[in-house]
Amino acid sequence: MKMDVGGLFLEELAVEIERLHEPKYRAGQIFRWMHQRNAVSFQEMSDLPKGLRDKLEEEFRISTSVAIIKKSGIPGEDTTKYLLEAGQGTIIESVSMAYGYGRTACVSTQAGCAMGCVFCASGEMFERSMTAGEMCGQAYAMQRDTGEKFSRVVLMGSGEPLANYDESLRFVRLVSDPGGANVGRRRITLSTCGLPREIEKLSKEGLALTLAVSLHASNDETRARLMPKAASICSVKELAKVCREYANVTKRRVTYEHTMIKGVNDSLANAKELAGLLAGDLCHVNLIPLNGIQALERSPAKTVEAFAGVLSGKGIPVTVRRSLGAGIEAACGQLKAGHKTLD
Ligand code: SAH
């Protein structure tokens, strides 16, 4: 297979261009075409001589060229789910969401997921990890389609980003490159099921991104039931400790995601337990209304309110994610189910 240039940093691209005995500044032009103008082929790069475009086409491929297969809007919301095809025929879903402050791209870091969390529809089957170029390509495909630039990126689609550590971080660096898409690092959120060694490593990368941790339970028993693989890697106490250290090192507040599941993790005792676990930490809890799956049901609004009340009463900052039915959460949490509705 031809070498991919879509996932290369500018300096790496420059090395490849010089290898073709072309001037180094061409690398800057090509990088901008891919990462700012979202070109999907070398022939589109109209300020390059035709001979060079042909040569590049012969030598390289562009992994950021991700094709839209289908899209579906969510009625009443400015949210669009996309079914996309990356290289090797891999099908993934990405979501474009518009908020008051701009557009957010939700990208998948893996096709499928190996973590098997019981409430998440993405974990049915792991197919493969996505490359950094393909992650950029998801955002760029949606950008081309909407004609609007993204101001935020969330690594919250299918897959576990920290189980695809190198490519996910390469993506964060590429998409935040001022010579490329230039999305501010503080506007990038990486959501993980909580892999402690990788969180430690991430704290030393010097990236100002937002870390979101899918906790979903205040004790090990409940977490083992909901997230069997993640819970087998470390206890909730160890996870909270690693996140505390992450916040200390990076000075960035960690977001804990807690999906509210009726009768499973939503009691006042659970709220107290959670408050005890996170007491004094630089953190924030985001309560997410569950998108019902199999026997699991969303907690009633009143239960969510009472749960939030306990947390804020104990000084833990808490927000309730907007409940948009088949909206944003469905898009992020149930990619596979969404895939079916798109078919
Ligand atoms: N592997 C990463 C990112 C993918 S999941 C992680 O675990 O964080 C992205 C977010 O969607 C997570 O917070 C996850 O808990 C949530 N989610 C998954 N299934 C959901 C569902 N059925 N309803 C609501 N949120 C869900």
Q: Which of 113, 160, 191 to mutate to test the pocket of ligand 1 (most atoms within 8 A of CB)?
A: 191
What is the distance in A from the centroid of ligand 1 to the CA of 205? 24
Give per-residue burial for 159-174: e unless 16+ CB within 10 Å, then b: bbbbbbbebbbbbbeb
CA–CA distance, 200 with 242 (Å, rounded to integer): 7
Between CA 166 and CA 308, with CA 288 as vertex, the angle to 5 degrees is: 125
CA–CA distance, 3 with 11 (Å, rounded to integer): 16
Q: Measure Cα distances from 309 to 40, 183, 318, 320 in Å.
A: 49, 34, 9, 11
Grouping H, G, I as helix, E, B as strand and the rest as coil, residue 216 is coil
Superfamily of 67-342 according to CATH: Aldolase class I (3.20.20.70)
Residues lining ligand 1, CB < 6 A? 119-120, 156, 160, 191-193, 214, 257, 259, 288, 290-291, 293, 329, 332-334
Phi-psi region of 255 (alpha: psi -120 to 50; beta: other; left: phi over 0): beta
Query: Within the chain, which residue ranges are assigned CATH 3.20.20.70?
Result: 67-342
What is the distance in A from the centroid of ligand 1 to the CA of 122? 9
CA–CA distance, 253 with 251 (Å, rounded to integer): 7
Q: What is the pLDDT of residues 201-217, one digit of tens each?
A: 999 999 999 999 999 99
What is the distance in A from the centroid of ligand 1 to the CA of 182? 26
Helix axes 25-35, 132-146, angle to 10 degrees: 60
Please tell me the residue having the least CA distance from ligand 1 atom 9: 156
Class of domain 3-61: mainly alpha
Q: What is the pLDDT of residues 11-27, one digit of tens each?
A: 999 999 999 999 999 99
Task: Give yes or no for residue 308 having a pLDDT over 60.
Answer: yes
**Mean pLDDT score across all residues of the chain:** 92
Task: Write down the pLDDT at residue 338.
Answer: 41
* H or E element at residue 25: helix 25-35
CA–CA distance, 64 with 61 (Å, rounded to integer): 9
Q: How would you classify the pairing of strands 67-73 and 60-61?
A: unpaired
Percent of the chain with pLDDT strictly greater than 70: 92
Q: What is the pLDDT of residues 74-109, one digit of tens each?
A: 766 788 999 999 988 999 999 999 877 789 999 999
Model-level pTM? 0.94
Residues with catalytic roles: 93, 332
Query: Within the chain, which residue ranges are assigned CATH 1.10.150.530?
Result: 3-61
Residue given tokens 């240039």 in the structure block? 5
What is the distance in A from the centroid of ligand 1 to the CA of 119? 8
CA–CA distance, 209 with 203 (Å, rounded to integer): 10
What is the average pLDDT across 123-152?
A: 93
Q: Measure Cα distances from 27 to 22, 31, 46, 143, 327 in Å.
A: 9, 6, 14, 23, 40
Q: What is the DSSP string of 259-321?
A: EEBTTTT-SHHHHHHHHHHHTT-SEEEEEEE---BTTB-BPPHHHHHHHHHHHHHTT--EEE-
What is the average pLDDT across 142-146?
A: 94
Task: Give yes or no for residue 334 having a pLDDT over 60.
Answer: no
For 15, phi then psi, to 5°, come to: -65, -45
Please tell me the residue having the least CA distance from ligand 1 atom 17: 333
Q: What is the pLDDT of residues 159-178, one digit of tens each?
A: 999 999 999 999 999 999 99
Question: Atom of ligand 1 at shortest distance to CA of 227?
Answer: 7
